[in-house]
Amino acid sequence: MRVGVLTISDRSSRGEREDLSGPLLKERVGNQGWSVVRFDVVSDDQEDIEGRLQAWADSGEVDLILTTGGTGFSSRDHAPEATLAIAERLAPGLVEAMRAASLKVTPHAMLSRAVAGIRGRTLIVNLPGSPRAVVENLETILQALPHAIELLREDPDAEAGHNPPLPQAKM
């Protein structure tokens, strides 16, 4: 799987704060045997985020884009709006699962505004900005991601496990 990791942070984009979550995502993705083919840090500016997401998704070079940061209540948190602006379809089950799992850890999980969407054959998932939360949320959806990408690629074998053959009637 080819992955893009996009950190969304004003301070990290200006070099004022070290980006910890983006490198953690790169490491976790690498541990899965997936390739990080794009990695960048952008400001919290919605147009910058939209531009990067759209360019990466439309390039045909990434199957999955993981964003980190910009999902909270701050007036500068625009990752969900940027994702919604360029997504063609939504994938709400992924963020529902992340919030449900996170609520077992902290009541603050209900403050996440993260979204997940599809543009072309690329899946985009917003993750939190904190290193601990980004790992917890990724771990929650990790097992579903390969199958999601198979479906987006229209892999003929993707549906094989969905409809096992019906048992033969005994005569």
| pLDDT by 10s per residue, the chain, length 171 | 999 999 999 999 999 999 999 999 999 999 999 999 999 999 999 999 999 999 999 999 999 999 999 999 999 999 999 999 999 999 999 999 999 999 999 999 999 999 999 999 999 999 999 999 999 999 999 999 999 999 999 988 877 756 655 566 665
The torsion region of residue 85 among left (phi > 0), alpha (psi -120 to 50) and beta comes to: alpha
Quick one: pLDDT at residue 165? 58
CATH number of 2-152, picked from 2.40.128.90, 3.40.630.30, 3.10.580.10, 3.40.980.10? 3.40.980.10
The model's pTM: 0.92
Residue type for position 112:
S
Quick one: pLDDT at residue 155? 85
Q: What angle do CA 154, 158, 159 make, to 5 degrees?
A: 110
**What number of residues does the chain have?**
171
3-class state of residue 119 by DSSP: strand
CA distance 29 to 23: 10
Helix (H) or strand (E) holding 117: strand 116-119
Torsion angle, alpha carbons of 54, 57, 55, 61, to 10? 180
Decide: residue 88, CB within 10 A, 0-12 exposed, 13-18 middle, 19+ buried: exposed
Quick one: pLDDT at residue 146? 97
CA distance 64 to 57: 8
8 A C-beta contact, residue 12 and residue 23: no
Nearest CA to 88 out of 65, 126, 54, 48 is that of 54
* Distance between start and end Cα atoms, the chain: 47
Q: Where are the domains of the chain?
A: 2-152
